[in-house]
Structure 1
Amino acid sequence: MLELISFLLHGIQPLLIPICFITAWTVTILVVLSLWTAARDSVTTAKQMHQIPCTGCQFFTDNYRLKCTVRPSIANTEEAIDCLDYQPKTNPYLY
């Protein structure tokens, strides 16, 4: 049994360096592609979230219990991007 294992190891040994080289570079490329995809998706999501106008609306209360007095269910969500009740703040000193 040990002779068979020894024979297999000596037969595979010339192929181990190229196999390990290809495997290491494949794993490195996959990690880089994964990080690139995550960064791209994060930027896309951030751009979409920055389109939400709630903080500049006069009906936005900035209170976690009641974020919006007109449409509290969609306040600070993607549904609020085209809110029909949006009114810009008239007093710039109010936050």
Structure 2
Amino acid sequence: MLELLSFLIHGIQPLLVPICFVVAWTVTILAVLSLWTAARDSVATAKQMHQIPCSGCQFFTDNYRLKCTVRPFIANTEEAINCLDYQPKTNPYLY
């Protein structure tokens, strides 16, 4: 049994370096692709969140209890992007 194990180890030994090389580069490439995908998704999410017009609306109160006096349940969410009740602030220096 021990002779068979020794024979297998000596048979596989020349292949270990190429196998480890391929595995190391595969892990490196997968890590870089994962980071790239996460960065791309974060930028897409940030662009979408910057389209929310709530902070420039006159009905936005900037109060955590009641964010919007007209539609409080969709204030500062993605549903507010095309809000029909959006009115630009008439005096931007208030609040």
Bucket of the pairwise TM-score, normalised by the shorter protein: over 0.9
* 2:45 is equivalent to residue 45 of structure 1: yes
Identity of aligned residues (%): 89
* 2:18 is equivalent to residue 18 of structure 1: yes
Matches within 5 A, 1:65-76: 65-76=65-76
After TM superposition, the score normalised by the length of structure 1 is 0.97
Q: 1:5 Cα shift?
A: 1.1
Q: 1:93 Cα shift?
A: 1.2
Structure 1 residue runs without a partner (length 5+): none
Q: Which whole-Å CA distance do the structure 2 matches of 1:50 and 1:6 have between them?
A: 64
Q: Indicate the residue corresponding to 1:2 in structure 2.
A: 2
Task: Provide runs of 4+ in structure 1 moved above 6 Å.
Answer: none
CA deviation profile, 1:3-54 (whole Å, cap 9, x unmatched): 1111100000000000000000000000000000000000000000000000
Matches within 5 A, 1:30-41: 30-41=30-41
Structure 2 residue runs without a partner (length 5+): none
After TM superposition, the score normalised by the length of structure 2 is 0.97
Q: 1:94 Cα shift?
A: 1.0
Q: 1:71 Cα shift?
A: 0.2
CA RMSD, Structure 1 to Structure 2 (Å): 0.6
